[in-house]
A and B are shown apart, each in its own frame.
Chain A
Amino acid sequence: MMMLQHGSTQLLCLTASSGVPLFTRGASKQLPFSVIGSLNGVHMFGGGQGVELSCCETEGGGRVVWRVFQDSVMLIAVSAGGQGGAGCSSSKVEEVRLQRLLENVWSCMVLVLGQDELTDVRNVERLKRDLRSCFTLIDQLLEERQEGILGHLTHCADSLLPPNPALLQEAVDGFAEAAESEFGCLVVHGRVAAATEKWWRLAPQEVVLLSALMRSLSASGSASCDYPVFLPKGSPTVAHRLLRFQLLPGADVCVLCGPTPSLHRAQSELVGSFWTPLVETLRDCLAIGERCLPGSVSMRPDVLAVLLINREARRSVSFVRTPTNHLPSEPPLPSKARCWELLKLFYIFSTTRYFAQEETLSVSPEERAQRGHHEDFVLGFSHQPLQCYLVTEECKSYGLQTPQHQLFLLTPLSVPTFALRTLATQTLSDIVAATGF
C-alpha cells in the first residue's frame, strides 16, 4: 500500500458572510482570484440548499476542505494532489490532516487576536492588518518546518524528558508561584520539559498552541516578552499575559499571569534567583538534543523512529534516529525527514483505521458523529484493536495501544515482521521503566 506524499497546502481565509478575502498563506503560487471566488461560491451555494460542504477531492488527487468558524470566518485548505497511488486510505489521511490544520489555524487566530475581534468585524481592512500578527504561527503549522514536532497533529504536547526532572519541576513550580501564577512551563528545544500541574489542565489544544507560540517567540531571538494571549477554550475573549524568558538559547520559561508582576519586575527579581542555580541542569537538558529522552534510555538499534503518547497526560515524546546503513546490500533507509513524514502518516493511518484518537476537536458530539474520521468498517468492529502493523516499500511500522499509552514505531525492512511485536513492546517498557513516562 502506498502512503501519500505531502503535497503543498494552501490556506485561504475569507469573511463568511461576504466572502471578502482576508489572507492566503502557503504555496508560493497563489490561486487565482476567480478560483478563490468559486471555492467560496460553491460552499455558499450548498449553504443555500441546506447542505454543508466540508470536503471534496479533485480529479488530480487534490483536496479541498472548508470550514466556517463562529459564523464569521471561513477557512479553506487546498492541497495539491499526492504523487501516485492516492488511494482511498491516503485521501482519508489527507482529509484528516487538513481538518486538523483548519482547526489549528482558527485557534491560532483566536489565540493572538481574541474571538471578539474575529466575530465582530467592524473594519475589514484593519482585521486584515491585524491578522498578519498570526502569520508566523500559521506558517509554522503549514510548513511543519521543525522536525519532530507532532503536537499539531496529535494534540498531545511534544515533550522532552530531562535527565533531572525533579529539580526542574521544583524550579518551574517555584518560579510560577513567585510570579503569582499557577501556569508555568519550561520549553527546551521547542518541547515541554517541565510544567506546573495546572498547565496540564489547560485544554490539550491550548498546550500545543502555547508551545508553538513559544517556539516562534524563541526563534525571533528576543530575550523576554509580555505577550497578550487569548486561550481558545478557556478564555477566548479575555486576554491573559504570557511572560516568556529566554534562559539560554533553546531553553525558555513562561508563565501565564494576570496584571502583576510587570515584565520588568519578573525579569529583574525572579528570573535570576530561580534559574541561575540551575544553569548546568538546563545545559544537560539542552544536551539531550532532539532525542527527547535521557541517555539512560537505551534504544534497540533496529528502531528507526518512535512516537510514544501518554494518553492520560496528553503528552508525547518522539524521535528519529539518524539512519546508518549497515550493509551495502540492504535497501537504502529512508532519510530522517522522510522518517518524520512516515511517522506522521502512520499515526494518522492507525488512528483513523484502528485506534481511538482522543477527541479534542472543538465540535459538538452530533457534529463529531457527522464528521467522524473513522472509516465505516472500524465502526463495525465489536472490539477495540490493540495492535496493528503496516509493511510498505520503505519501512515497516508497528502500532500498539494500552490503556495508558500509544506507541508508533518504524523499523527498517530488514527486521522480520514476526519480530515487530516484541520490538514494540520492549521499546515501550524500556522507555516507561527508565523515565516513568
Chain B
Amino acid sequence: MAQDAPSSGSIVVADWHQCKDSKEYFSKILHKKRRKNFGLLESPVMPPHVAVDTVHYKIFISGKSGVGKTALTARLAGLNIPNLHYETTGIETTVVYWPVKLRENGRVLFFRLQLWDCGENTLRRFDHLLPACKEQVDAVLFLFSFTDRTSFDDLSNQIAKWTGTSVKLVVGTKFDLFMHCDVPERDVRDFQETWNLRVLRVGGEVSDGLGDVAPLLNCLAENLWHQDCVTAGSANRRSQQDTGTLL
C-alpha cells in the first residue's frame, strides 16, 4: 500500500536526464529538440549492442473537470497544450516513453507510460468508459488545481474510489498562479500526512527541456517499479526504512 512508497531518488537516479551517460537514451525520445511522437507500432530503438528492456504501465488521470488533466498529459508527453479549455470527449490515451536508470545496479529501462485521460462529464454520461479505464490499471494520478479549492477538497472522494490500485500520486496543477491560490501550503502538508501520499506540483510555462517533467516522471517510474518489486516479492528493504520522508 501507499505506506511503503519509496522516497524520491532512492530507486532511480534523480535528474539522470542531466547526466552525460543518459544522452544516448534520451536522444531516442527526442526529435529536433522536441519530444518524439511514437505510434502504437513503434518504440524507441537502441542499437543492437545496447539492449534495453521496456516496461509497460497504464496510468489513469483522475480529477474534477477543468483541473487540467489533458494539459498535464500533453505536458508530460511534450505535446502542444490546448489553449482553450474544453471537456475531453471520451477517453484519450497518450504514450510517454521515459528512460530511467536504476540506482541499485545501474540498469537502464525504458518506461512506457500510457496515460488515460477521460473527461469527467463524459465519464458520467457513458458508463462503459470507467470500466475501460480501470481495466488493468497500474497507477492513478489524482489531480487538483491550486486555484480551485473544491478540487482539493474532492481528493479524498476520488482516492476512496480507487482502493484496488496501489500506486497513487497526487498532483497539484496551476501551481504558478499563486495570485489565485486557493489551497494554502499548510493544507497540502496536512493532506500529505493524513493520507501518506506524495503531492507533486506542476504549473508555469512549458520549457523545451525535460527538466519540468523529469521529477514527476521519475517519481511515477520509481513508484511503479517499486510496486512491481513488492509484488514480485523482492522488495527493496531500504525503501521501507525511508517511509515518512516525503517530498
Contacts and interface: CB of A to CB of B under 8 A. Distances in A.
Interface of A: 112, 129-130, 132-133, 135, 217, 220-228, 239, 241, 245-249, 251, 259, 262-265, 267, 271-272, 275-276, 279, 282
Interface of B: 37-42, 58, 74, 77, 79-80, 82, 84-87, 89-95, 114, 121-122, 125-126, 128-129, 131-132, 135-136
A249 B38 CA distance: 7
Contacts of B89: 112, 133, 227-228
Contact of B93 (A132, A135, A222): A222
Among B41, B79, B82, B129: residue with most chain A CB under 10 A: B41
Contacts of B58: 264
B39 A264 contact: no
The 5 A-B pairs with the shortest beta carbon distances in the complex, nearest first, are A132-B86, A248-B39, A227-B90, A262-B132, A221-B79
Contact of A251 (B39, B86, B126, B131): B39
B40 A246 contact: yes
A223 B40 contact: yes
Contacts of B79: 220-221
A92 B77 CA distance: 47
B87 A225 contact: no
Among A130, A135, A223: residue with most chain B CB under 10 A: A223
Contact of A262 (B85, B92, B128): B128
B112 to A, nearest CB: 10
Contacts of B86: 132-133, 135
B90 A264 contact: no
Contacts of B41: 247-248, 271-272, 275-276, 279, 282
Given A227-B90, A228-B126, A249 B131 contact: no
Chain B, interface SS category: loop
A259 B87 contact: no
B40 A264 contact: no
Nearest to B119: A133
A246 B39 contact: yes
A228 B90 contact: yes
15 contacts: A130-B87, A132-B86, A132-B87, A135-B86, A221-B79, A221-B80, A224-B40, A224-B92, A225-B90, A246-B39, A247-B39, A247-B41, A248-B39, A263-B91, A275-B40
A112 B82 CA distance: 18
A239 B90 CA distance: 11
Given A133-B86, A228-B122, A263-B132, A221 B91 contact: no
B36 to A, nearest CB: 9
Nearest to A129: B87
Nearest to A134: B86
Contacts of B42: 248
Contacts of B132: 226, 262-264
B77 A221 contact: yes
Contacts of A275: 40-41
Contacts of B131: 262
A217 to B, nearest CB: 8
A265 B87 CA distance: 25
Given A133-B89, A228-B126, A263-B91, A223 B136 contact: no
A249 B39 contact: yes
A395 to B, nearest CB: 36
Contacts of A245: 40
Nearest to B35: A221
Nearest to A283: B41
A220 B81 CA distance: 9
A177 B3 CA distance: 46
Contact of B135 (A129, A225, A264): A264
